Amino acid sequence: MAVVTGASGFVGSWLCRTLAESGIQVRGVARHPPRHIPPGMLFHHADVLDPAALRPALAGADMVVHLAARVHVMQETAANPLTEFRRANVEGTRIVLEEAVRAGVGRFVLASTVKAVGEANVAPWTEEVPPRPLDPYGVTKLEAEALVREMAQRHSLHASVLRLPLVYGPGMKGNMVRLFRLVDRGVPLPFGLVQNRRSLAFVGNVAGAVMAVLHSPAAWGETFFVSDGHDLSTPELLRAIGLALGRPVRLVPVPPALFRAAGRVGDLIARVRPLPFTSDAIDRLLSSLAVDSSKLLRLTGYRPPYSVAEGLGLAADWYRGRM
């Protein structure tokens, strides 16, 4: 039996369905039930910070996939973000690990993030690149990774870490939805001069990566980057979204320096009212953040089950259905 924390979330919902469809009994754990519970899945209401509530959910489990986390948000409201991130991402991981060991779980997978390594690069990262996280989310996910390795060695737990890039697909939120909306509206997009490379991961490919490491002894004790295996520039991504939506994409050549100036103005305005185009958001559109996921393919034989075009097509179908 597999237990999935964060089962009602974007990635968790897809993963639970994938596990159940493969014939694995699934117990989904979350603070709120998912909209749809697939056949073969049982839902257990629990907060990962509550060991007593978590304990019965892990009873009899063979595998645990820990997805529950406090994630990066554009408008942070906590007085001390690092403290709140540590509580959810480090303490929450510690509790899940301890209860997994208590229950005799054999396999453990932690969903981490590329932000545990940093925010931008020139060449694609491999797993050997020294981590230099810059924000509370990345810092605390790196701390959670270290905790998983420590507990795994101490208790002979077969653990793996998956570092995820931006994940997209049905149920996505944040920047990808904004990009779909901009393309759908047909507005001119000032990204014609952007020359970056960014790795993405379709949610179905993330689920496939989890399945691969769960069933591969070669993945025990290892950390992996996950991606679709095909990096895109921002203009390429926008054109691909346009193709998926059946919309023409109008790209205007605007110098990146003007973007960064607009981002600084956005930072000032964002202090008094929410604004999507801050320096942080601009950097995500202009900078490169690519990863080399060949280690995952090499050690587990994993191949992404969905192409970028297929993933964006499914995301477009979902986007149209919610409009």
Type of residue numbered 10: F
For residue 21, the one-letter residue type is E
Burial class (CB in 10 A: 0-12, 13-18, 19+), 304: buried
Q: Which SS3 state, helix, strand or coil, does residue 180 take?
A: helix
Which of 137, 168, 302, 319 is an active site residue?
A: 137
Determine phi and psi for 198, rounding to 5 degrees: -135, 140
Q: Do 111 and 66 meet the contact criterion of CB atoms below 8 Å apart?
A: yes
Q: What is the token pair recorded at 221?
A: 């004790």
Contacts of 298 (CB under 8 A, 6+ apart): none
Q: Is 168 a catalytic residue?
A: no
Rg (CA), the chain: 20
Task: Tell me how many degrees the CA angle 305-108-19 measures, rounded to the nearest 5.
Answer: 40
Pairing of β 2-5 and β 63-66? parallel
As annotated, the active-site residues are 137
